[in-house]
Structure 1
Amino acid sequence: MADRNDQKSTKTIPPYMKAVSGSLGGVVEASCLQPIDVIKTRLQLDRSSSYKGIVHCGTTIARNEGLRALWKGLTPFATHLTLKYALRMGSNAVLQSAVKDSETGNLSHYGRMVAGFGAGVLEALVIVTPFEVVKIRLQQQRGLSPELLKYKGPVNCARMIIREEGLFGLWAGATPTIMRNGTNQAAMFTAKNAFDGILWRKHEGDGQMLLPWQSMISGFLAGTAGPVCTGPFDVVKTRLMAQSRSGGELKYKGLFHAIGTIYAEEGLRALWKGLLPRLMRIPPGQAIVWAVADQVTGFYEKRYIHNATL
Structure 2
Amino acid sequence: MSVKSDFILPLLSGAAAGTTVDLTLHPIDTLKTRLQSSAGFWKSGGFRGVYSGILPAAAGSAPSAATFFCTYEVTKKFLINRTPGYMTPVVFMVAASVGEVTTALVRVPFEMVKQRAQANLHLTPYKILRQILQTQGFRGLYQGYFNHISREIPFSLLQFPLWEGFKQLWSYHQGSAVDPWQGAICGAAAGGIAAAATTPFDVAKTRVMLAMKNSAELKFNMWQLLVQIFRQEGFRGLFAGIVPRVTAISMGGFVFFGAYDKSKKLLSPYLVN
Q: How many angstroms does 1:262 deviate by?
A: 1.1
Q: How many angstroms does 1:288 deviate by?
A: 0.5
> 1:260 and 1:214 mapped to 2: Cα distance?
39
Deviations along 1:193-223, whole A, 9 cap, x unmatched?
1111111349xxx99571x431221111121
Q: Secondary structure at the match of 1:92?
A: helix
Closer, same or farther: CA 103–115 of 1 in aligned 2, 3 Å: closer
Q: How many angstroms does 1:135 deviate by?
A: 0.8
> Contact 1:207–1:298 (CA<8 Å) still a contact in 2?
no
- The CA RMSD over aligned residues, in Å, is 3.0
What amino acid is aligned across from residue 227 of structure 1 in structure 2? A
Q: Which moved more, 1:104-113 or 1:257-266?
A: 104-113
> 1:266 and 1:99 mapped to 2: Cα distance?
43
* Aligned counterpart, 1:188: 159
Please report the TM-score for the alignment, with normalisation by the length of structure 2.
Answer: 0.87
Closer, same or farther: CA 226–105 of 1 in aligned 2, 3 Å: closer
2:264 to 297, 300, 307: 297
1:258 aligns with 2:228: no
* Aligned counterpart, 1:129: 108
* Aligned counterpart, 2:93: 113
Unaligned runs of 5+ in 1: 1-9, 52-56, 63-68, 143-148
Q: Secondary structure at the match of 1:136?
A: helix
Q: How many angstroms does 1:257 deviate by?
A: 2.8
Q: Which moved more, 1:129-138 or 1:254-263?
A: 254-263
Q: How many angstroms does 1:303 deviate by?
A: 7.0
Q: How many angstroms does 1:47 deviate by?
A: 4.7
Percent identity over the alignment is 26
> Contact 2:16–2:259 (CA<8 Å) still a contact in 1?
yes
* Aligned counterpart, 1:54: none
> Contact 2:9–2:268 (CA<8 Å) still a contact in 1?
no
2:72 to 92, 101, 115: 92
> 1:249 and 1:179 mapped to 2: Cα distance?
20
Q: Please say which structure displays the higher CA radius of gyration.
A: 1
Q: Secondary structure at the match of 1:273?
A: coil
Please report the TM-score for the alignment, with normalisation by the length of structure 1.
Answer: 0.78
1:173 aligns with 2:144: yes
Unaligned runs of 5+ in 2: none
Aligned length: 270
* Aligned counterpart, 2:201: 233
Deviations along 1:14-35, whole A, 9 cap, x unmatched?
1221121111111211221111
